[in-house]
Amino acid sequence: MRFRAHGPSLALITLLAFPTPAFASIAPDAPEQESRSSAGTGDTDAPEEIIVTARRRNETAQDVPVAVSVVGGDQIDNTGSFNVGRLQQLTPTLQFYSSNPRNTSVNIRGIGVPFGLTNDGIEQGVGVYVDDVYYSRVASATFDFLDVAQIEVLRGPQGTLYGKNTTTGAINITTRQPTFDLEGRAEVSLGNLGFKQAKAAIGGPLSDTIAARVAVSGTSRRGTIFNVASNKWINAQDNLGRRGQLLWRPNDNLNVTLSGDFSVQDPECCAQIFVRTGATQRAVARQYAALAAAQNYQVVSTDPFDRLTDVDAELNARNELGGAALKIKWDTGPGTLSSVTAWRYWDWVPANDRDFTGLPITTKSNNPSQQEQYTQELRYAANGDQFDFVVGAFAYHQKIRTQGIQVQGPAASRWLLTGALANDPSVLNDLTARNDIRLDNTSAAMFGQFSWKPLAGLTLQPGFRVNYDQKDGLYDSVVTNGAGQRVDFASTDPRIVAQRGILAPQRFEANFSDWNFSYELTISYQVAPDILAYATYAKSFKSGGINLNGVPNDAVGNPILAAAIVSPESVNHYELGVKAQFLDRQATLNFAAFRTDIGDYQALVTNGQLGVLRGYLANAEKVRTQGVEVDFSFRPSARFNVYVNGTYVDAKYDRFTDAPCPPELSGGTTGTPIAAPGVPGNSPANCDISGQRIPGVSKWSFSYGGEVNAPTAIFGREGNIYVGIDGNYRTGFSSNPTPSVYTNINGYALTNYRVGFRTDGGFNIFGYVRNLFDVNYFEQWAVPSGNTGLIVGQPGDPRTFGLTLAMTF
C-alpha cells in the first residue's frame, strides 16, 4: 500500500475515505507504505488511493463492499492513540472497557463479550489480529501498539476469509515490514503526570535476499488516583514492547518472514474507587452506610473526581505477552499460497482489592493465569477477469491454567454475616478459597470466499466456513478456614455453614464439542464510477464454552452440571451500504445500515429454575443490535481537511427472562415478588429484562476533527506549521449487566488539540493537549458483590499535555 499524507489528521481522513475490506493486508510484493508524509507542501490536492489486496488483487478500498474504519500509523502517533482504549476515540463503533487487563472487553456495534465478567471458558466476539496472527486473549488489547503501519476496525461477522471465526467484527493490526531500503524512525514524548514515551524502529537489508527490522516502545506515567493508605499514585502506566522481523526474499515470487515479539506491563494498578451508594432490598442495617458506620469506617472521599482512595490490599497488574510467527507467501503464477504458523503465550500476575474499601474484608482476590496457543493457517487465492476466490484452512489449540485465590480478612465477619457470628472476626478471618481452573481448547476450520461478475458492475460474493470446536475444562475450588479446617457441605457446625455461605467449595469437569456451518452472501453494484452499493447477509456463530467461574450448587452441595455448558450463539446479520466520492474525489461519504440478531447470547444469568441464586455465565434467549454508520471526509486542498464519523446503535435484549436483578431489586428475601419497589426485604429470584438496553452501548457516538497547515521556515528549515483538533462524543450508557438506575453513566465529549512543525525530511515536533477542557467523565462503573449498595468506578483521564519530537529517515 502506498500512502502520502498531507497533515497528521489526513492519515485517518484519507483512510476513512477509502475504507479497507476485511483483513486488508499489504502484500510483500506490493508497494510499501510511505514512512513519512509530504506534510501538506502542496504537492497535490488529490489524495492518493489506498490499495488493498484482501481479495487477492490490487484494488481501491472504495471498491470493496465491507464496512471498516482504518487508522494509519502516523495518525496513531500524532493523536496519542497508542492502545485500543484510545483508539476507540477515533472509531465510534468500537467500545473498550477494562478494569484490569484480564477483565477487559472489546465490543463492536454493542456486542462482543459479556459485560462485567471474565470467563476462561468462552471466546471473544471481536477478534484481535496482528499480521494475520490471531490473539486469543483480549488482554492483548491493553498493550501499546508496536511499530504499527495501520489498524482496521472491521464491523460485522468475519471468518470466511481468515483465521478464527468472530461474530461481531475484528481489529486487524498491520505492523511495518522489513524492506530492502535502509529506513528508521524515532519518537520521544514527555508530558505531565510524569508521562514518558519513547519509540524507535530501524530496518534494512542484511544481504541481497535478507532484510530485517527491529522496534522497541516504552511508556510510563504515574497513576491518576492517589492511595492514601499506601501513599502512592495508582492506576499507573508501565509498558515495554520489543519486536523483531527477518524477511527472506530469494526471488520475486517468494517471501518468508520470521517474527518475534515480547511485551510486558508492570504498573501499580488497578483500583476502582467510590462513586456512590444506592438503596438495595437488604435490611437497612445491612447496607453500605450502616455497615461502614459499625466499623467506624469512612471512605476518604465521596467525590470520585478528588481521585482519592484508601484501598488496603496490594495492587499489581503484571501482564506479559509474546510469541513467534513464520509467514510464507508464494506466488505460484495462477494464484498465491500463504501459510501463517504461530505460537503465543500470555502470563498474568495480578493483585487486587476486591472489597473496594480501606477495610480488610477481602485481603486477596487474584487469578494469576498462563495461556499458550498454537495456530496454523493455510490460504490459496486466485484472481481472474470474472472469477476470484480464496480458500483456506485454520487449526488452533489453546491451553489455559489459572490459579485463583480469595482470602477474607478480619473485617469480613461484620461486613458479610448476620447474628452473633457477625461479631466474631475469627469466623471469616483467613477463610481461603484456592481455585484450579483449566481449559484445553482445540478448533479447526475450512473456509472460502468467491467473487463472480456476471454483468459489468455487478459482483456476487458468497462465502462459507465449516468449523469444529472442542473444549475440556476443570474447575476445582478448595476452601479452608483460619483454623486450617477444610470447609465442606457435610458439616453442620454453624461456623462452617456460615463460611461456606461466603466461599463454597466446588469441583467439576465438563467438555463441549460442536460442528458449525457459517455462510454469507454479498451483492455489490457499481452504480456510477465513484458510487458503490452493496448488501450482505451472513449466518454465523460464536463457539459454545464451559462456565469456568463456578456454577450453582444444589441443596446438598453438588454442582449443577446443567449450568456448566454455555451454548453457541447463533447470529443472523444484515447490512446495506453505499460508498461514494464526489467533488472530484475531494469528498467521501460512506454509509452502512445494519441489523444483527443473536440467539442464545452468552451473558450473566441467574436461573431460578435451578433452585439457586448464584449468578453464572449462560445464554440469554435473544439479543438484537441495529443502527447506522456514516463516515464523511472533505479535503478541498492540501492545506485543509476535516472529517466526521457517526454511529447510531440500538442494542437491546429482545428476550432475557432470567437475568440477574439490578442492585435496587437485590439483597432481600428471594422468591417473593416485589411488593413495593424500594421497600427493603423482597427480591425476585431473577428478573425479566426483555426490551432493555445492553450495557456499555451509547446510542449516539461521534468522532470529528480537522487540520490546517501552512508553509513556513523555522531555524532555516523549510516545512509546515500545522494545527489539528480531534474530538469524540458519546451519549450515556448503562454500566451494569442488568440496567440499573444506579449505574447509568452520563454522556461526555472529549477534545484533543495539537500544534506543531514538520518538514519533508522527516522532522516533526508538536505540542498536544488531551481532554482540553478537563472534562470529568467515567470509563466504567461496577456493582461489587454483596448487594450493600456500593457503586465503584473508574474516572477517565484528566487533562494531559506534553511535547513530542519525532524523526524518520
The full DSSP string for 588-655 is EEEEEEEEEEEEEEEEEE--GGGT----EEEEEEEEEEEEEEEEEEEEEETTEEEEEEEEEEEEEEEE
φ/ψ of residue 273, rounded to 5: -115, 165
d(CA 619, CA 601): 5
d(CA 123, CA 168): 12
Residues of the chain predicted below pLDDT 50: 1-44, 53-56, 609-611, 613, 675, 677-678
pLDDT given at position 40: 36
Q: How far are the Cα atoms of 107, 117, 152 from residue 84, in angstroms, in the given order?
A: 11, 19, 12
**Which grid cell sits at 359?**
477495610
d(CA 195, CA 218): 11
pLDDT given at position 301: 97
pLDDT given at position 112: 84
pLDDT given at position 78: 81
Please tell me whether residue 112 adopts helix, strand or coil conformation. Answer: coil
d(CA 626, CA 40): 39
pLDDT given at position 341: 98
Q: How far are the Cα atoms of 19, 48, 379 from residue 23, in angstroms, in the given order?
A: 11, 21, 13
pLDDT digits (tens, 9 = 90+) for 6-27: 333 333 333 333 333 333 333 3
Percent of residues, the chain, with pLDDT higher than 90: 68
d(CA 556, CA 81): 53
Q: Give the residue from 109, 104, 175, 161 showing the smallest Cα distance to 136.
A: 104
Q: Give the residue from 690, 694, 686, 667 showing the smallest Cα distance to 678.
A: 667
pLDDT given at position 37: 31
Contact 787, 660 (CB under 8 A): no
pLDDT given at position 614: 58
Matching residue, cell 419497589 = 677
d(CA 306, CA 300): 10
pLDDT given at position 554: 85
Contact 33, 51 (CB under 8 A): no
Matching residue, cell 465449516 = 466
